[in-house]
Structure 1
Amino acid sequence: LLRVLDLSWVKFEGGKLPSSIGGLIHLRYLSLYGAVVSHLPSTMRNLKLLLYLNLSVNNEEPIHVPNVLKEMIQLRYLCLPYKMDDKTKLELGDLVNLEYLSGFSTQHSSVTDLLRMTKLRYLTVSLSERCNFETLSSSLRELRNLETLNFLLTPETYKVDYMGEFVLDHFIHLKQLGLAVRMSKIPDQHQLPPHLAHIYLFYCGMEEDPMPILEKLLHLKSVQLRYKAFVGSRMVCSKGGFPQLCALRISEESELEEWIVEEGS
């Protein structure tokens, strides 16, 4: 009655996870983290008692994920592959017990699947070019228990400027926000979660100094500006700003030429 199976970093012959995995019907925990897998069998639909499933495989080519995860309604933790092939279409709307969901892709799943996942505390969303942001926002509004929210770009979406799209002020429990999307200006402080403690900004290409907005977030403890998050040359931290900040990390490849830190910041 095997309940825990950790196959992290395993190299499977021919990249195929054996279909016999479907016989382990008592499994509660299955990890394929870092495993070399290019094919997942449809027999995984039998693993209906899984609570934890990590499909963050080590795949250079996009992997096909069969539409069987909808059967695993007990799941609390689900990590999807970063690269899935174009044929992958996942129905996830019945996974209402999920508390952790990473790798949710708006290309491979419907954003309305998120509507009933009201127990989610951690969510990472990979944005596709065809994503309807209005529909995504209304689905996210139901996730009032979120503590960590990350938005990731794909190469196709890097050309899209998401300035003004992120209105996240209704997430009263959100402590950590990651934005790896293109936006020429950071959202106004009134559009950001009121109790935000940590913010990570990557690849944003912001032309305007984000500090005048970030320094007004009273609970902020750490800020990261990485990989061309800010492409301007001048940054100012005002007196009285960042009352609780403990850590600030700025990319070494930053184009910053002048950084003014006023006394009392």
Structure 2
Amino acid sequence: MQTLDLRLDDVNIFEYIHVPNVICKMEQLRHLYLPEECNPKTKLKLGTLRNLQTLVNFNTKNCYVKDFMNMTNLRELEIRWPFNIEGFNTEELDKNPPIIQSEYLHSLSIINNIINDERRIDPKHLAHLLLSCKNISKFSLDVEIRRLPEYHYLSSNLAYIKLRSLIELNNLEEWKVGEGAMPSLQRLEIQSCIQLKKLPDGLRFIATLQEVKIGSMRKTFKDKVEEEEEDFCKVRHGLSIIFQDCEWYRSHCHFFYSAAALHAYHVKLCRWCREDDKDQSVYGHTDENEEQVLLRSMYRTVRLMEAYGLSGLAHSSYSDTSSTPGLYVLFWELKMKGSNDLPKLDAKVMEQCCCIVEESFDFTYKSLRKGGAISALELRVVKHGSFDELMDFYISKGASISQYKLPCCLKTEEAIKILNSGMVGKFFSPKTIS
């Protein structure tokens, strides 16, 4: 076997995915795709995979950094969520051993866009990782850190850079690219970095630059890059400058106060809403599978619920636009582990679940919540059997029993009324979001 893909599209969000430590025996493996989230007890030793070329969804919670030492044929690496180097010397950085030994690594993607401080990547760890990647030509960074690594950590072979959703970089406006840095850069994509005030002056020295793509940025940033404006001279030597959704970003805070706009954001979280949303091209742009955004966000509450003896059975959601501003509502059916008894609901635990879910949503949701354009997320817990009643309702309307799938997004008043009738408690996330 040369390819092993363990990613799951349709997974019960209230169950961990456990991967046994047997992959190390597959020494001929070339391409390994791990699940996005694994059981905390999963510990994989991958140091024997000397022929590995592709590794996706690596993290230091379930894997070991030291195993990179033996992966001398690695070409593509994607790190998702925790990445912490044990025993890292923060005082004398040059005393830390290199991480990546492969001279063939050309593509590096780092995804760590969560607010939880315990899982946020340390900028020094990130910088040391980049220092080990001497030959990468494609670099994608989707993280929440306080500052970017200095440019001299980046490979001189870089041909493509994508910076996405760096919403907490308070000093990103001072990002500098010196003369001689990134001499091979061909494509630069900057998306959703709402703190960035201008392009680095050093881009004017990169003669190889062919394309600059600006997406979901403030209009003030976009205006500076347009022809004859102050930042245009930095990238005018490129063959193309592409703008995406920058006009939308300018006014989206106003739009989201309306009922239609909150429903439009719901499109980003649930693909089934697309059928009834005629304005999806305006509001519903997203790079991810919308259903998976919601699944992944709720999946991260599992550890917390298990600690209190809770088990989840089913979930659904809808956007409540009956008031201004509107809010996002989740329905959960919970029970005690090992029985169908109604659990005792601790308000603090439920509110913490709300926070975890909101932390997993994208920069747009977070910025609008912080600005008051969307109200606090609401979690409604329903009694055991409520979702069975919902299924009976849909079957009575003509749905097939054999093909029935619980809707992630509720679109009818009747369905919402059924779940509301079984509600045993409701909880809200804190009124402010960091």
Q: Decide whether the 8 Å contact of 2:27 with 2:48 is kept in 1.
A: yes
2:148 corresponds to 1:195: no
What is the CA distance between 1:70 and its match in structure 2? 1.3
Q: Decide whether the 8 Å contact of 1:161 with 1:184 is kept in 2.
A: no
Q: Relative to 1, partners in 2 of residues 1:83 and 1:164: Cα closer, same or farther, differing over 3 Å?
A: closer
2:231 corresponds to 1:243: no
Aligned to 2:138: 176
- Decide which of 221, 225, 237 is 2:190's aligned counterpart: 225
Q: Decide whether the 8 Å contact of 2:98 with 2:132 is kept in 1.
A: no
Q: Decide whether the 8 Å contact of 2:52 with 2:71 is kept in 1.
A: yes
Q: Hey, what's the Cα distance between the residues in 2 that align with 1:113 and 1:96?
A: 10
Q: Hey, what's the Cα distance between the residues in 2 that align with 1:198 and 1:239?
A: 13
What is the CA distance between 1:249 and its match in structure 2? 1.8
Aligned to 1:32: none
Q: Amino acid of the residue matched to residue 243 of structure 1?
A: A
Q: Amino acid of the residue matched to residue 8 of structure 2?
A: V
What is the CA distance between 1:111 and its match in structure 2? 0.9
RMSD, aligned CA: 3.0
Q: Hey, what's the Cα distance between the residues in 2 that align with 1:239 and 1:177?
A: 16
Could you tell me the percent identity over the aligned residues? 24
Which runs of structure 2 are paired with 1:7-156 in the superposition (5 Å)? 50-58=1-9, 59=11, 61=13, 62-128=16-82, 130-132=84-86, 134=88, 138=97, 140-153=99-112, 155=114, 156=116
Structure 2 length as normaliser, TM-score?
0.44
Q: Helix, strand or coil for the counterpart of 1:186?
A: coil
Q: Relative to 1, partners in 2 of residues 1:138 and 1:125: Cα closer, same or farther, differing over 3 Å?
A: farther
What is the CA distance between 1:72 and its match in structure 2? 0.9
Q: Helix, strand or coil for the counterpart of 1:114?
A: helix
Q: Decide whether the 8 Å contact of 1:53 with 1:78 is kept in 2.
A: yes
Q: Helix, strand or coil for the counterpart of 1:113?
A: helix
Q: Decide whether the 8 Å contact of 1:163 with 1:184 is kept in 2.
A: no
Q: Hey, what's the Cα distance between the residues in 2 that align with 1:88 and 1:151?
A: 21
- Decide which of 208, 211, 217 is 2:172's aligned counterpart: 208
What is the CA distance between 1:118 and its match in structure 2? 0.7
- Decide which of 225, 229, 232 is 1:261's aligned counterpart: 232
Q: Amino acid of the residue matched to residue 244 of structure 1?
A: T
| Greater Cα offset, 86-95 or 165-174 | 165-174
Q: Helix, strand or coil for the counterpart of 1:84?
A: coil
Q: Could you report, residue by residue, the CA deviation over 1:170-193 in whole angstroms, capped at 9, with x for unpaired residues?
A: 533211112222333332222111
Q: Hey, what's the Cα distance between the residues in 1 that align with 2:159 and 2:203?
A: 20
Segments of structure 1 that go 5 or more residues without pairing to the other structure are 1-49
Structure 1 length as normaliser, TM-score?
0.69
Q: Hey, what's the Cα distance between the residues in 1 that align with 2:145 and 2:178?
A: 15
Aligned to 2:147: 185
Q: Decide whether the 8 Å contact of 1:238 with 1:262 is kept in 2.
A: no
Q: Helix, strand or coil for the counterpart of 1:102?
A: strand
Q: Helix, strand or coil for the counterpart of 2:69?
A: helix
Segments of structure 2 that go 5 or more residues without pairing to the other structure are 90-95, 225-230, 238-434
Q: Hey, what's the Cα distance between the residues in 1 that align with 2:217 and 2:133?
A: 32
Q: Could you report, residue by residue, the CA deviation over 1:109-140 in whole angstroms, capped at 9, with x for unpaired residues?
A: 111111101110111122416543849x7352
Q: Relative to 1, partners in 2 of residues 1:145 and 1:200: Cα closer, same or farther, differing over 3 Å?
A: same
Q: Helix, strand or coil for the counterpart of 2:204?
A: coil
Q: Hey, what's the Cα distance between the residues in 2 that align with 1:131 and 1:163?
A: 10
Q: Amino acid of the residue matched to residue 162 of structure 1?
A: P
How many residues align? The count is: 214
Q: Hey, what's the Cα distance between the residues in 2 that align with 1:239 and 1:179?
A: 18
Q: Could you report, residue by residue, the CA deviation over 1:14-69 in whole angstroms, capped at 9, with x for unpaired residues?
A: xxxxxxxxxxxxxxxxxxxxxxxxxxxxxxxxxxxx11111121135241112221
